[in-house]
Structures are given as C-alpha cells and as structure tokens.
Amino acid sequence: MKIAFELSGEHATLPRAEVIACLESLNIDFREIAFMDQLLVVDVQELPPIAKRLAMTHHILDVIFICPANIKSILRLASTADLGLKGTFCIRAKCKGTDLSSTALEREVGALIHKKGYRVDLDNPDVMFRLVLTEDKCVFGRLMESVDRGRYEVRRPQQRPFFYPGVLLPRFARALVNISSLHDGILLDPFCGTGGILIEAASIGAQCIGMDIQQKMVLGANLNLRYYDIDGMLIVGDACDIPLRSKSVDAVVTDPPYGRSALIQARSLEYLYRDSLREIYRVLKKNKKAVIVSQMPLDKLAEEAGLAVRGKHQQRVHRSLTRQIIVLQK
C-alpha cells in the first residue's frame, strides 16, 4: 500500500528524516516513492500506528491516487478510482503552492462523490478524505491517523517545575529522539540540562540516563522527570568521562553547550566536543546512533572519534545562531 505523510513545514529536512528513522526503527520494510514539498510517499506492506511517536507530521494517508495538480485530472480520477467507501464521508483539501482554492476543490470533488450515492457528513464522517496539492502533484487519500501536536504544547518547558533558558522545545526534542532510530532500550543524554530530551525519550518507552556537570541542572531535571512520573537515572558528571560501561547504550541524543560562555570544566568548546564524542563512541552499542545538536560542524571530530556521519540538518534559530544537527552511527 502507498502511504503519504503530510509533513509539517517547520523544518525543510527533519520531518522527512523523522518518518524514515521511525519506520526503520520499527523494522518496517518500505520504499520511498516521492518526497515533494511537505509530502512524503512510501510503499509499505502494512503500517502499525505510528502517529503517537511522530512530532513533525500532521496526517498519515492511505493513498488512493496521485495525479497532476490540475482540476481536470483530479475530477477524472476521483470519479473512476475505487474509493473503498462505506458510510459517510467528508473531504478536506490543502492547496499550498497552487492557485486552486481549497474550498472550491472540496466542493467539486465532494459533489462528484456524492453523485455516486455516498452521503456527506462534515461533522462526524466515517471516512475523511484529504486532497493535498503541491506545485505539480495532487495526492488523494483516506485519512488513517493524525498526529496530536497539541500534546507537545502541554509539555511546554515553561509548564515544568524546573525551567532554564536554552531548553529544546518538546516537538524538536521528540524529532531528535526519533531520528536516533531508538525503538526501546537505553537513551543517554550526557548534557541533559533540564531533561527535555529525556522526557521525550521516556514518552516513547525508552529507559533514560541523563548527565550534567552542574548539580543544579541534575536536581532540576530530576524534578521535571518526577513531574511526568518518569523513572530515569541522573548523574552529576562530566560528559568527557561518562561513568557507564562501554557498549551499554542504544542511542545518544544530546544538545551540548553552544557558546564559550556556557563552558564548564573544559579548555575550549573543541576539546569538550572532541572528548565527549570519544566517550559517546565508547558507550554506544555497535551500529547504534547519536544525534547531536551543535553550533559548529562536528563531522571531522566525529569521524576522528570513530563515528560515521549518516545525516546532517541545519536549523536557524536567530541571526547569530544556526543549529547543526548531525546524525552519527557507530
């Protein structure tokens, strides 16, 4: 079956990487068919419910047809395609990047399906169809699942008992956890700060270990984990000397300090990255991944530590801060 993921526009590359890593971590056999402007289409045998895991997807569709983004092709396919419809229906269209009107399209395609003998129910339909148009393609599908993105708002850092500036937002932290391909097992954040990454890892069922060199951060992260009933292990310590056995963790996701002002017990940011990357390599199990957010490119230091670069993303936070997100594999 063909499945389309309607991706969020909050980042150009992370939403796609998140879906792909999630499918891989769940051992789902899939083939990517198309990636076009906030829409990823894959071919899979079967899809387990994954909306609960994803952060940067809006909807997941069972694709009925894909056609050129013009009204003639859409109406022709909507009238001939097997819609597999039982009960009432409703259509929602999203026409980003085209000059077609969503409302007009919903009305025209809706009227056509209605003529085939199906009843419209705008409030509580048995089947919700979605028409998603990119600049040149249209994907028409049955809505399978929607991601409840509101639940990440509920976990806003300001709502937690311990807040500190510089914390990652929950949706971003969840996407990073997913990009690490962690299924279950142990996730380590050696620069855990207030524990934002640990909270998201625990929410997908991982056991989490956090470390921070500042006792006040570890105490605060502890308050935050307890607030969500999370039973993680927290250590006051230096990420350049991690007190864990070699090959003992299944993923590392972390957000080390960015500027020189954030430096604690390290000669320079370069030393901090170099020594902590060596430790990350040591504690990771073979083939497992580390996802690291930094202000400078880490490719060279990561490769020197023995880690292979599997992906890179950039996120502009403001004029003087662009985050680099690097995906590494042991």
Binding status of residue 166 toward ligand SAM by CB under 6 A: yes
**Window of 80-88, 97-105, 234-242, 321-329 that interacts with ligand SAM by CB under 6 A:** 234-242
Q: Is the CB of 15 or the CB of 257 nearer to ligand SAM?
A: 257
199 binds ligand SAM (CB under 6 A): no
- Phi, psi torsion values for 86, nearest 5 degrees: -130, 125
Question: Is 186 an interacting residue with respect to ligand SAM (CB under 6 A)?
Answer: no
What x-and-dash track marks residues 273-312 binding ligand SAM by CB under 6 A? ----------------------------------------
Is residue 167 a contact point for ligand SAM (CB under 6 A)? yes
CA 201-206-210 angle, to 5 degrees, is: 60
d(CA 195, CA 218): 8
Q: Which CB sits closer to ligand SAM, 27 or 261?
A: 261
Residue 294 CB, nearest approach to ligand SAM (Å): 10
We find the least distance from the C-beta atom of residue 309 to ligand SAM, in angstroms, to be 21
How far apart are the C-alpha atoms of 19 and 68, rounded to whole Å?
A: 25
Comparing every residue's Cβ against ligand SAM, the nearest one is 193
* CA 48 to chain CA centroid, nearest Å: 17
Cα dist from 318 to 15, 156, 306, 323, whole Å: 20, 20, 32, 10
Query: Counting contacts by CB under 6 A, is residue 223 touching ligand SAM?
Result: no
One residue of 14, 152, 257, 289 binding ligand SAM per CB under 6 A:
257
* Paired strand residues for 211: 235
Task: Give the list of residues 6+ apart from residue 48 with CB closer than 8 angstroms, or none.
Answer: 26, 28
Strands (E), 147-281: 186-189, 207-212, 233-236, 249-254
Q: 83: part of which helix (H) or strand (E)?
A: none
Q: Which residue, 132 or 266, has its beta carbon nearer to ligand SAM?
A: 266
Residues that bind ligand SAM (CB under 6 A): 164, 166-168, 190-191, 193-194, 196-197, 211-214, 217, 238-240, 255-257, 264-266, 272
